[in-house]
Amino acid sequence: MQNKGYSREWLDKLIYNSDIVSTISRYLTLTRKGNTYWACCPFHHEKTPSFAVNQQGQFYHCFGCGASGNVISFVEKMEGTDFIDTVKMLAGWAGMEVPEFHGDEDYLKRRKHRELLQNICRDSAIYYHNVLKSKDGAVGLNYLLGRGVDSKTITKLGLGYSNSWQGLVNYLLKKGYKRQDLIDAGVCDEKNNRIYDAMAERVVFPVIDHNGKVVGFSGRAIKNDSFAKYKNTKATEIFNKSSNIYCINLLRKARLEKNYAILVEGQMDVVALQQAGFSNAIATMGTAFNKNHVQTLSRFVDAVVVCFDGDNAGQKAIARSLEPLGEEGFEIKVLSLPEKLDPDEFIKKYGSEAYQKLIDNAMPVYEFEINYEASKHNLADKDEIPKFVDACIGILSTIPKESEREIYIKLVAKISGVPRESILRQLMFSKNKAVASTETPQVAGQTKNYKAEQFVLASILHKKPWALSVDIEDFVNNNLKNLYKYLLANNFPKVSKLFEDFDVENSTDIKAIINYDFSKIAKPEEEFSGCLAKMQLDSLLRRQEAVGLEIVNCTNEQMKISLLNEANEISKKIIEIKTLLNKVG
């Protein structure tokens, strides 16, 4: 049993008072169908609901991405909070007092250290902002004003300025922080045994996570040409430029009005768009968009409008950003800016209404990718045309809908001059080849009656009316046997309890039992009888073999008679079960 730091009785009461349907309804619109509530999954993009909430068992499962858990794990994922903060949140909603935490001391130390680093970053952000608004921040303020950033936006985004190498150090040390803590938080660097402000002489952009915590900074040099133009906080316990997203905290609010994000290249582009009213504008921290960013983004929106600079480098950046978004199933559109402008320049020149029109007319991702491939090939050269078509085959093969795929087959044909039928044949050949290369043998390592054991145990766990008691020795698969032992020992608890006592996410066997799809079983009563009979027959055959060996090696006549009688009884039972199996087919 996992040590959660609170008593089992109190956690059970918290889960009981935090009805999973009511809690998830805070985040999603659930539709009831029979005994199950359904919604589109918040953990991956989908248009047809496959996210199921079981009120009786107090658990959820997505049949699309496989996410499952209880009310605690759901809120953890949605809020991005750790276990303690999630429990406190649920307890607050349920009107329960939270007892003292008595968990892993190392966990408490790590949590306390993370809170310390967050506090240092918060106080640093306050310092930078106050400097910018003071006479000492005139250089930074003039730079921002010169870029067209107004005071309202400066306040909204908490922009700041560092005017010296030691000002922040002295400020934080006076507040009682230790020098090593400043280094651990990434706000200070060390050289020759002296620490200094890592963002010295830069305009500072605080990076705030989706929970509203300042976790790091990005700084733009404006005085010294020898500096790197942009600098991010080094990797810390709370900040990683490969996973943090600038202005993700504002996107969380913006999603209530717009269910899409505008992905741009840099902080100043985000600042310009935020000022122009596009509160759903975000940017990475100077890194390529990756799976970590996508996982964070998937909590808030289903679609992304990608808008990088209109130059060649910007077009390449768009192409690189699309793959991880597409793999997660986001609806993607591409906004192409004219005249090689960046978003900041476009807004200044044409205004926010013109930019919104570009968003409304943004190019579907497949059209952009095909046009991008066309721009990379000289199609006036006949030798380049097959290369262009080959590249487009890879794009076409990723389009799931046949009707949509047909549109882009015609586009490739139009651009290349190759007949549609030829492109279609090449596409079909490519697909057949891919299918053949990915065929895999049946999963190894599963016991003979694994599926039968799985159905029997799932029926017992979910308290189905056809479920009967089972002898523990009828289970051969050790994981399933151990789960049945657990159910017996805990008086067959609600399904949600398993998420507290097992690592369900990393246990394929347990996860499959929890999320068993009974709708595929036409006659469950007969199926249960048949499965149980198969398990019992297998158990008897194993015992029959063992008894046979014992008889051969037995030298005690009285014991041998007893074994022969047992063997006889086993044979009778085997005949009975085989007869039953013949009847049920």
Sequence-distant (6+) residues with CB within 8 A of 375 are: 315
Distance CA 399, CA 406 (A): 9
Only one residue has tokens 């921290």, namely 285
Residue 489 pLDDT class (50, 70, 90 cuts) = confident
- Most confident option among 275-279, 303-307, 340-344, 485-489: 275-279
CA 34 to chain centroid: 29
The percentage of residues in the chain with a pLDDT greater than 90, rounded to a whole number, is 44
| Interval 338-348: pLDDT, tens | 888 888 889 99
Find the helix packing angle between 343-350 and 267-275, rounded to 10°: 30
Give me the mean pLDDT over the 544-562 stretch: 81
Whether the pLDDT of residue 370 is over 80: the answer is: yes
pLDDT at residue 21 in the model = 95
- Between CA 465 and CA 459 the distance in angstroms is 8
Say if residue 189's pLDDT is above 80: yes
For the full predicted model, state whether its pTM sits above 0.75: no
For 174-234, what is the HEC assignment? HCCCCHHHHHHCCCEEEECCEEEECCCCEEEEEEECCCCCEEEEEEEECCCCCCCCEEECC
pLDDT over 60 (residue 433): no
User: What's the average model confidence in pLDDT over 258-287?
Assistant: 91
Contact 460, 536 (CB under 8 A): no
Looking at residue 316, what is its pLDDT? Answer: 61
560-579 confidence digits (pLDDT tens): 788 878 888 888 888 888 87
Which token pair is 254? 């913006």
pLDDT at 439 over 50: no
Over residues 384-400, the mean pLDDT reads 89
Q: Is 552 left (phi over 0), alpha (psi -120 to 50) or beta?
A: alpha
pLDDT at 225: 66
For residues 336 and 364, is the Cβ–Cβ distance under 8 A? no
pLDDT classification of 319: cutoffs 50, 70, 90: low
User: What's the rounded Cα separation, in Å, for the pair 71 and 12?
Assistant: 11
- DSSP H/E element including 306: strand 303-306
pLDDT in the model for residue 468: 84
Q: Region 505-516: what's the mean pLDDT?
A: 85
Q: Is residue 310 pLDDT above 80, yes or no?
A: no
**pLDDT category of residue 436 using cuts at 50, 70 and 90:** very low
445 pLDDT band, cuts 50/70/90, is: very low
Closest CA to 232 of 243, 245, 241: 241
Between the CA of residue 385 and those of 38, 185, 410, what are the distances in Å? 48, 53, 15
Cα distance between residue 475 and residue 485, in whole Å: 10
CB 567: neighbour CB atoms within 10 A? 16
Q: Beginning with the edge strand found earlier in the chain, give each strand of the sheet holding 51-54 in spatial order.
A: 31-33, 36-39, 51-54, 59-62, 68-69
Residue 5 main-chain phi, psi, to 5 deg: 90, -10
Burial, 421: exposed, middle or buried (Cβ in 10 Å; 0-12, 13-18, 19+)? exposed
Residue 329: pLDDT over 70 = yes
* Inter-CA distances, 195 with 182, 189, 201, 501, Å: 9, 5, 15, 46
Task: Please state the length of the chain.
Answer: 585
pLDDT value at 431 more than 70: no
pLDDT over 90 at 410, yes or no: yes
Identify whether the C-beta of residue 273 lies closer than 8 Å to the C-beta of residue 262. yes
- For the chain, the straight-line distance linking the first and the last C-alpha, in angstroms and rounded, comes to 41
Q: How many CA atoms within 13 Å lie on the side-chain side of 95?
A: 0
Q: Pick the closest to residue 203 from 220, 188, 226 (CA basis).
A: 220
Q: What was the pLDDT predicted at 529?
A: 87
User: What are the pLDDT digits (tens) for 131-180?
Assistant: 999 999 999 999 999 999 999 999 999 999 999 999 999 999 999 999 99
The long-range contacts involving 496-499, CB below 8 angstroms and separated by at least 24 positions, are 496/15, 496/20, 496/57, 496/58, 496/59, 496/70, 496/71, 497/12, 497/15, 499/59, 499/68, 499/69, 499/70, 499/72, 499/73
pLDDT tens string 9-52 = 899 899 999 999 999 998 888 999 888 899 988 887 777 888 99
Mean pLDDT of the 184-208 span: 95
Look over the chain and give the mean of its residue pLDDT values, rounded to a whole number: 86
